[in-house]
Amino acid sequence: MTATSTNSIPELSIVVPVYNEEESVPHLHEALVAALEPTGRSWEVLYVDDGSVDGSYAVLEQLAESDERVKVIQFRRNFGQTAAMAAGFEHARGQVVLPIDADLQNDPADIPRLLAKLEEGYDVVAGWRENRKDAALTVNLPSRIGNSVIGRVTGVRLHDYGCTLKAFRREIVEDIHLYGEMHRFLPAFAHQAGARIAELPVTHYPRRWGSSKYNLSKTFRVLLDLLTVHFLAAYGTKPLYFFGRFAFLAAGLATAAITWTAVQKLFFGVFVKDQPMFLIGIFFAIAGLQFLLFGVLAELNMRTYYESQRKPIYFVRNWLNLAAPSTAREDARARSVTPPPEG
């Protein structure tokens, strides 16, 4: 078998996280094909089976067999939607990468509109479920609050962070690294990487098959993730500035308390053991030292993080008369997968 058709690089990569969605996947695939074919673009769909325990994988196997534009990654166990999406992103080869839910709550028919918007000169187009069809009190309300908090903290004001359906230019996806349940913050990370972001209302349907994988506890995880995101955005490359502030504050308080102690002793004859300020001063002195050391450790850690993985501390939009390193990376990748000459 020649590998040409499998390996020719498609224009679009659809990424679908799948966790126990055996009933909806065939419908989804049909809808995807119906939406993608008229665009006249070449495409691939990457289904990531996130440790499903129903018949999802068998369904995917069948799809992959009948169409080689269907790529499947099967996880050993359930690693979560973020991991599933990250796996899809990593193997996506298209110039545009579009994640979408497997449950058909998003409508593949919106894909051409997302692409058109992207072509207006954006790097990311985020779907906005303007008319969301989920439970009002347990899903929509917390999500509304969440979106507003996330928007405020990250500085990227979107109506709907949680909508999986989005369109990304490939470079942006390559520059983003996901952890925890951070797929919701993709636009925020994209913004940190310098992306131009647009929002587009998309259709949303109630779930017809299977059940939702999330409940209210998701809200708390989102809030904790937000803390990480904010810290990384504000102090990711300069943690000592963050901890240093507390160190200075504590040092100031320690100095004040100890000075007070000295004044009490020298001018009023009040001994150290008779008033609390001495101990409080010592407490702040130790706390300040701890903050300082913490900051220094964080600095060391940050350097290891960036340098061991050669992560850039900047992102480039264009190169003129220079080869973009990603092309160089791709060349290297292409060389490493070329089989050695026979004989």
* Shortest reach from residue 33's CB to ligand UDP, in Å: 18
Residue 143 near Mg ion by CB under 5 A = no
DSSP H or E run through 46: strand 43-49
Nearer to ligand UDP, 19 or 161 (CB): 19
Q: Minimum distance between the CB of residue 67 and Mg ion, rounded to whole angstroms? A: 24
Which single residue is written with the structure tokens 């708390």? 220
Contacts of 234 (CB under 8 A, 6+ apart): 242
CB within 8 A of 116, min separation 6: which ones? none
17 binds ligand UDP per the rule CB under 6 A: yes
Instruction: Find out whether 316 and 324 touch, Cβ atoms under 8 Å.
Output: yes
Under the binding rule (CB under 6 A), the answer on residue 80 touching ligand UDP is yes
Contact 157, 116 (CB under 8 A): no
User: How far apart are CB 254 and Mg ion at their closest, in Å?
Assistant: 53
**147 binding ligand UDP? (CB under 6 A):** no
201 binds ligand UDP (CB under 6 A): no
> Count residues contacting Mg ion (CB under 5 A)?
3
Q: Where are the beta strands (DSSP E) in the chain?
A: 12-18, 43-49, 70-74, 96-99, 124-129, 166-169, 197-202
Q: Are 206 and 105 in contact (CB under 8 A)?
A: yes
Q: Which residues pair with 17 in a beta bridge?
A: 48
* Residues of span 206-235 touching ligand UDP by CB under 6 A: 212-214
* Contact flag: residue 81 with ligand UDP (CB under 6 A): yes
Size of the site for ligand UDP (CB under 6 A): 16
Q: Which token pair is 189?
A: 């990370």
- Does 19 participate in binding ligand UDP (rule CB under 6 A)? yes
* Of positions 103, 110, 175, 225, contacts Mg ion by CB under 5 A: 103
CB-CB neighbours of 137 under 10 Å = 8
Least distance (Å) from ligand UDP to the CB of residue 158? 16
Three-state secondary structure call for residue 124: strand
**Contacting Mg ion (CB under 5 A), which of 13, 24, 56, 105?**
105
**3 state DSSP class of 72:** strand
Find the binder of ligand UDP among 44, 103, 110, 123 (CB under 6 A). 103
Q: What H or E segment, with its residue span, contains residue 327?
A: helix 325-337
Q: Which is nearer to Mg ion, 134 or 171 (CB)?
A: 134
**Cβ at position 224, least distance to ligand UDP in Å:** 17
- 3-state percent helix, strand, coil for the chain, nearest multiple of 5: 55, 10, 35
Distance in Å, CB of 94 to ligand UDP, minimum: 19
Nearer to Mg ion among residue 184 and residue 191 (C-beta): 184
Interface residues with ligand UDP (CB under 6 A) are 17-19, 21, 50, 78, 80-81, 84, 101-103, 105, 212-214
